């Protein structure tokens, strides 16, 4: 009888200890999230956001005449008509009849550089992501153009059969597990409450506020990298961290994945360039 009582007491103690540990962990996570929110609010000031320097540089590049045809990008049609930027980013990726392809913003800019400016884009692609002593035309142009859709809401373009096909391919890519870690995008972004270190991982596989807030904040200035980053870079870096073969820049696969994520973000407000850790 005494033995049974001892075991009962031990069981209760173990349960209380476990419960206390869980409670302490939850409290720590709540406190960490509050501190992160305070940090985000502190740095989320347009007057203190270096991403707006990229917006200014992008505007100059948009107006710069270059290439064998010596013309600017102001005649580039991003879906709303030649040179029209307001709302263009909110409706990308989309199908372009002249190219007979679904393109995201960076693909379309490369197409306009090659076909309208006659520009050799090899150097632009080489500098697709900025680094120490290496500026990126594409990052600056994306910041400038995306900023023209600020305050607008994502309107995924899914009427054309090729747009529907690309969105379906993006969904398949999101859930496709591969490489040595057997990871997929869904490994991190298809369950509620997942974290990596102190960073919460948003659910991106279904329409909702988390998907809208996430997609609506790119491009962003990354404080930890001292650089503005586009969605192309974000997805490239995700594949790198999953130990998968890194995708080619401006590939159809990345456009497909972006189309799927934008579909989940439908109705989300765009506020860019944002600023993140």
The catalytic residue positions are: 238
Indicate the helix (H) or strand (E) that contains 228: strand 227-229
Distance CA 140, CA 132 (A): 15
Distance CA 50, CA 187 (A): 32
DSSP secondary-structure letter at 248?
P
- Residue 200, CA atoms < 13 Å, CB-side half-sphere: 17
Specify whether the CB–CB gap between 36 and 198 falls below 8 A.
yes
List helix spans (H) across the chain: 2-43, 51-63, 105-112, 122-126, 137-147, 161-175, 185-189, 209-215, 231-241, 252-264
**What three-state secondary structure class fits 205?**
coil
- Nearest Cα residue to 90 out of 213, 255, 215, 274: 215
Distance CA 77, CA 176 (A): 33
Beta bridge partners of 276: 222
- Residue 139, CA atoms < 13 Å, CB-side half-sphere: 24
Specify whether the CB–CB gap between 249 and 128 falls below 8 A.
yes
């Amino acid at each position: 009888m005494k033995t049974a009582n001892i075991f009962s007491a031990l069981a209760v103690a173990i349960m209380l200890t476990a419960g206390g540990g869980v409670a302490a962990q939850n409290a720590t996570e709540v406190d960490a999230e509050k501190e992160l929110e305070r940090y985000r609010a502190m740095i989320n000031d347009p007057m203190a956001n270096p991403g707006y320097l990229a917006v200014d540089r992008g505007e100059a590049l948009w107006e710069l005449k270059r290439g064998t045809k010596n013309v600017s990008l102001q005649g580039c049609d991003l879906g709303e008509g030649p040179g029209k930027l307001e709302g263009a980013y909110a409706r990308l990726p989309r199908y372009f009849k002249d190219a007979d392809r679904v393109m995201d913003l960076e693909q379309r800019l490369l197409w306009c550089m090659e076909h309208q400016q006659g520009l050799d884009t090899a150097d632009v692609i080489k500098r697709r992501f900025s680094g120490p002593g290496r500026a990126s035309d594409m990052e600056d142009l994306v910041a400038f153009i995306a900023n023209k859709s600020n305050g607008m809401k994502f309107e995924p373009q899914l009427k054309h059969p090729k747009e529907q096909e690309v969105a379906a391919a993006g969904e398949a890519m999101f859930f496709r597990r591969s490489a040595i870690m057997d990871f997929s995008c869904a490994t991190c972004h298809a369950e509620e409450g997942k974290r990596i270190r102190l960073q919460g991982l948003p659910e991106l596989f279904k329409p909702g506020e988390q998907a809208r807030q996430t997609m609506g904040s790119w491009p962003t200035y990354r404080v930890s990298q001292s650089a503005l980053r586009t969605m192309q870079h974000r997805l490239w870096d995700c594949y790198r961290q999953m130990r998968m073969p890194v995708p080619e820049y401006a590939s159809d696969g990345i456009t497909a994945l972006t189309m799927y994520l934008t579909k989940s973000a439908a109705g989300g407000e765009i506020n860019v360039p944002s600023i993140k850790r």
